[in-house]
Structure 1
Amino acid sequence: MSTTPQTDFDSSARRHMDDADLLHAHARPANADHLAGLAAECALKALIAGFLGGHINPQDLVVHPNANGPIRKHVNTLWPEMVTIVQNRSASALIPLLTSQPFADWKVDDRYCDGTHLTATTVSNHLSAARAVISILEQAHLDGMLT
């Protein structure tokens, strides 16, 4: 058994989403919100690496020709950059989703906060957006679009 973790953005996205839904159902909005952002981020990185012409480098970072170096961004800054990454590609399912910025108010540093600044609407919007991008990822797998 290997003790070296293997980067797998697909399974990470699903795992984070499952846990976000579970925490949300148990009235744990701060961690549900945090994991929703991580789930969406992982799903976007899986799409970049498997569908949109990118790859995962030896340092386990996603690289794309339209990005300026390895992508070290969280969902709040990666989401708006996706418009540049999907340009000139067949990613019609992503385009309508990318016209909004559902994670503009999400911050990875919120993991250090008490969560009182989060509203039920904010958490719900983040969960919905994460589910939407994961659905696109899952459909890409079903369509055989991801390698």
Structure 2
Amino acid sequence: MTEDFLDSHQRHWDDAERLYVANRWANADHLYGLAAECGLKGLIEKLEGRSLTSDERVHVMEGRKPSNAWDKFESCRHGKTHGCKFVMPASNPFTNWDVSQRYYNQSQFDQARVDPHREGAKMVSRFIAIADQEGLL
């Protein structure tokens, strides 16, 4: 099988939104993080014009700066002609998200915890739409 980060982003985003509406906070939260991660990885590939290296295949908040996907995208967009169209917030909304949280009890998740992750994933979706409009995809 071949990787398709942008398709994976859309799939995870769509499912996260369905779970969010159903108040299924734990799984929605998990998928928002994966949606953001996949979208950022897809954008990095397109902006860089190459496949990701093994050290770039990290989760949205895995590793130390700038080794996670959020910080890698921030670094990647600088110096690119279209980079100014992808303005990132001052702080990463996924600082309290980790892929291992899929093992946590669902009672540890609520809307207040999920909403910042939803907004972060929504921003990545907007970046993908901008990249598409700009002919970068």
TM-score (ref. length: structure 1): 0.81
Q: Which of 24, 27, 42 in structure 2 is aligned with 1:28? A: 24
Q: Which of 15, 22, 28 in structure 2 is aligned with 1:19? A: 15
Name the Cα RMSD after superposition: 1.6
Listed one character per residue, the Cα deviations across residues 9-64 of structure 1 (whole Å, up to 9, x for unaligned) are 111100000000001111110000000000000000010001x21422xxxxx23x
8 Å contact from structure 2 (residues 85, 130) kept in 1: no
How many residue pairs get matched?
130
SS at match of 1:106: coil
Aligned runs of 1:86-125 on 2, under 5 Å? 86-89=77-80, 90-95=82-87, 97-125=88-116
C-alpha separation in 2, matches of 1:143 and 1:54 = 15
State, as a whole percentage, how many aligned pairs show the same letter. Answer: 35
Q: Residue 40 in 1 paired to residue 36 in 2?
A: yes
Between 74-83 and 27-36, report the one with greater CA deviation: 74-83
8 Å contact from structure 2 (residues 9, 38) kept in 1: yes
C-alpha separation in 2, matches of 1:8 and 1:81 = 18
Higher Cα Rg, which structure: 1
Q: Residue 55 in 1 paired to residue 50 in 2?
A: yes
Q: Residue 6 in 1 paired to residue 2 in 2?
A: yes
TM-score (ref. length: structure 2): 0.86
Gaps of 5+ in 2: 62-67
C-alpha separation in 2, matches of 1:7 and 1:16 = 14
